[in-house]
Structures are given as structure tokens and as C-alpha cells.
Chains A and B, each alone.
Chain A
Amino acid sequence: MQKYLKAFYAFLQNQKAYRLSFFSTFFSTLIFITFYYFLWKSIYNNQSENFEISGYTFKSLFTYYCVSYCFRFLVSSSKSTTLLAQEIHTGMFSNLMLKPIKYIWYSFTRTISDRILKIILPIIFLISLFVFGNNVIHLPKNLFLFVLSIVFSIIINHFTNIIVGLIAFYVVSINGIYNIYMRVSDVLSGTLFPLNMLPGFLTTTIAVLPFKYTTYNTILIYLGKMNTEEITFHFLMQGFWIVLLYCLFNFMFNKSIKSNESVGI
């Protein structure tokens, strides 16, 4: 455990090196939130306050996007994919294999250190919206369950990212696959729009994938749109996916390193 802690502190120091990058993540969130605010404002324009689209008033939909984008880089970022691919293609991966560490937890340490600093500004932004925003967003209905769901979502997201990153053992460049994965996961996780806006057959298909249990369900917990049974089922599914993805990663990892040539480019 200590070795991972030391790696965590080293990665944290690395994050502090480029401060512009630290602030840029927050500005990125602000841009998206501003964009969606004005887009949905023009859609809900001239409608009554209680007018709903797929069960969302303007306030609940704006809350959805605020929470989704403030926590987006926690639950749907995929830096671990590109970093694993980079390590494999440069030959650095062999260096890591020689160390007495498990790659998945080393990578998870790196993921957490990358995100832990960047959450500060979005949280301050959300709190400012509550306090000064003049009733523009909802308060969380169940903060503890929301935070717990976020923690499990981070783990699921990390495992899915790293499984996609294993493709780098077999291809020269992962860029195309990475782009497809990012777009698809944005849609399937509900980051782009709430999943209940999709046609029925698609929502049924999405329910058998892990993405829905990262962003969409987590925000429904925040908005209080899930009853006790649904929340219980959600956490059970998150636990199921964590175990399944961990086993899948181990299986694929052991198979993939056999084809690792440690050449580097």
C-alpha cells in the first residue's frame, strides 16, 4: 500500500507542475455548462415553469448538466487509456513490469492523483451556484449516496478505460478506437443528454452495459428521481460491474502481455 501512496504523491507533484492545465479543466467545465444553459434556455423559452421534456423541467435539466460536467472528468475521463497506450508504444511498459507493483492499481493511483486536485474548483463553482445562483439548480437529495455512487463510478470508469487501453498491445495507434470509445461512452453514460430521451429499445440495450451506472444513474440519485429499490439495484449493479471488469481486465492483461514485444517506437 505504501508504494502506491508514494506513487500517488509523486503524481500529485507532477499535476502541480503546469498550473494553466489545472485551471483549464475548470474553464472547460464552465464553457460546456454555459453552452448547455443557453441552448436549453432557448428550447424552454416561452414555456411555463413546469413545462417538461422527458420528465425534466429546465431547472432539473440544467442541474443535470451542471452535475454531469462538474464531475465529468471524475467519472468519464479516459487518460488512463492513452497513457497505457503510450507506455506500451514507447516501451516504458516493460519498465513498469519489472517493478513490484500491480499495473491496475498503479494506474488507478495515477488516475486519482490526476482528478483529486481538479475537483476543487468545480465543487466551489457548484456551491457558488447554490448560494448565489438564485434557485437556478437543485440541491442534492441524498448527498451521501451521491458521493458513494461517484466513488464506484470512478472505479468502473477506470476499469473500462484500462481495458480499452489494452488494445494498444495489438495495434500501432489507438487514436481512432479511443475517439470512438469517447463518443460512444459520452452517449451511453448520459453525459451528452439524459438516457430516457433515447428510444425504448436503446435504453434497454444500454441497461446491460456499465456506462449507465456511472453518470446517468448517479445524477438521478442527486436529483432524487430514484426510489429505494432502484438505488439498491443501482449499487448492486455497480458492485457487479466492478467485480466483472476487474476479472475481465486480469484475464485480458495476462493474455495481452504475452504478445508484448517491448520494442517501443
Chain B
Amino acid sequence: MKKHLKYYYALVKIQIMNFTQYRTEFFSIIAGTFAYTIVSILFINILYKNIKEIGGYNYYEVVFLFTTVQAIFYLWASFFGSTYKDIVKNIIAGSLDFYLLKPINLAFNLLTFRFDLIKLLPSILFVVYLYVYSLRSINIDYSFINLAMYLVTLLLSLFIITCYYFSVGLLSVFYGDTNELKNNIAKLNDFSKYPLPKNILIAIPAIPNPNNPMANNTNFIL
């Protein structure tokens, strides 16, 4: 355990140094991660310019739903993003040996190889700001059970996404380039960010969509 924590600490240090080495790259990557959230909020604003509610959700509730899903996604990407970005690339390039030869648990190494919290921190803060902004305009019946269930499902969602992308990434061992499949699975995210009809959200668990609990998170609190 101590060996793994020391290894992780060294890895994080190297990645932060690597990322902050070139200023243009540093700022452009941060701006790039902002761009998705800004475009999505723009889309929600465009929608609500023309209508009052979607599926019974008003503007603030949709922003709350969106920011919940996005925050979980960013947390996953910050600590376990290698499941999305590196596994397929390494299997195709044949550089998985780099991980296999280390005296570190393979799954741990593959899961935690990338540390993107620095890159995503400004986006996470922006999403948190939107989250608080929307929360202030929603009438919520706070209770201990509601909040506890909300936190539990948030953590479960994080766990599910990680396992999910890890499994999809490992399919490359059998099928070669699964980048497109991996990207398509990521697009299923969109089903969670907007209040779609309940029959669709129920059908979604039949298609492996780990973000469904995220959509249900707001049902605990709204």
C-alpha cells in the first residue's frame, strides 16, 4: 500500500511538472476543457429562450442536473482519466508492457496513470459555481436521508464510470482500435444531462450507461 502511494505521489509530481512546462499548452488545454461546459450552457440558454420547461424541469433544475453530471465526469477524468485516454492507445501501440513490467498492481497503474486535476480544476470550479448558482434558485426539501442518498449515488456513479471505461478500454485487447466505440459510449453521457422522458431513462440501464445514477441523483434531492 505504501509502495503504491509513493509511486502515485511521484507520478502526480511528474505529470504536474510536465503539464506546466509549456505555457501555451497549459492555457490552451484549460481553455479547451472550459469550452465544452460553456457551449453546453449556451445550448441550455438557447433552449430556455424559447420554452419554459423541459419534462417538468425549469431552467435552474436543468442547470443543476447538468452540473451534477459534469462535476462527476470531471472528478472521474481528474483521477482516472487514463481509463479513457491511455489504455486503448497503449494496447494498439504495444506499450502495455511498460505497465506490465512494473512491480505495481496492474489495475492500479492503469487506472491512476493520468492525473488531470490541475488541467480540469478551473472547469470544476466553474461547474461548482453554476451548481451553487442553480441550487439557490431551486426549492429543495433538505433531509438527512435525501442528502445521504445523493452523496452515496454520486460516489457510486464515479465508481461505475471508472469500471465502465476500464472495461471498454480493455476490449482493445480483442478488437484492436476501439476508440470510436469508446467515444460513442462517452456520448451516452448526454442522456444523463437533460431531463428526458422517464421511459427512456428506464430503458437506458438496458444499454450500459453508468451515468444513469447521476440523472437519478437529482430525483433524490428535487
Contact = CB atoms under 8 A, between A and B. Distances in A.
A39 B194 contact: yes
A145 B31 CA distance: 38
B179 A21 contact: yes
A176 interface: yes
Interface in A174-194: 175-180, 182-184, 186-187, 192-193
B176 A42 contact: no
Interface string B163-193: 0000000000001111111011001101100
A33 to B, nearest CB: 11
A43 B31 contact: no
Contacts, number: 110
Interface string A189-227: 000110001100000000000000000000000000000
A180 B187 contact: no
A198 B46 contact: yes
Interface in A17-56: 17-18, 20-21, 24-25, 27-28, 31-32, 35, 38-39, 41-43, 45, 53-54
B55 A179 contact: no
B29 interface: yes
Interface in B129-183: 175-181, 183
A43 B196 contact: no
A53 B25 contact: no
Contact of B30 (A17, A20, A176, A193): A176
A43 B177 contact: no
B54 interface: yes
B184 A31 contact: yes
Contacts of B25: 171-173, 175-176
Interface in A115-165: none
Contact of B180 (A24, A175, A179, A193): A24
Contacts of A43: 47, 51, 54
A186 B35 CA distance: 11
B22 A172 contact: yes
Contacts of A187: 39, 42
Nearest to B190: A35
B20 interface: no
B27 interface: yes
Given A20-B176, A27-B184, A28-B187, A39 B54 contact: yes
Interface string B37-56: 01100110011011100110
27 contacts: A18-B175, A18-B176, A20-B180, A21-B177, A21-B178, A28-B183, A28-B187, A31-B190, A35-B187, A35-B190, A38-B196, A39-B54, A39-B194, A39-B196, A42-B195, A42-B196, A43-B54, A171-B24, A171-B25, A172-B25, A176-B27, A179-B35, A179-B36, A180-B28, A184-B35, A187-B39, A197-B49
10 shortest interchain CB distances as A-B pairs:
A176-B28, A179-B32, A24-B180, A176-B29, A176-B32, A183-B35, A18-B177, A42-B55, A53-B50, A21-B180
Given A54-B50, A171-B25, A173-B25, 5 more contacts: A35-B196, A42-B196, A175-B25, A176-B28, A177-B28
Interface of B: 22, 24-25, 27-33, 35-36, 38-39, 42-43, 46-47, 49-51, 54-55, 175-181, 183-184, 187-188, 190-191, 194-197, 200
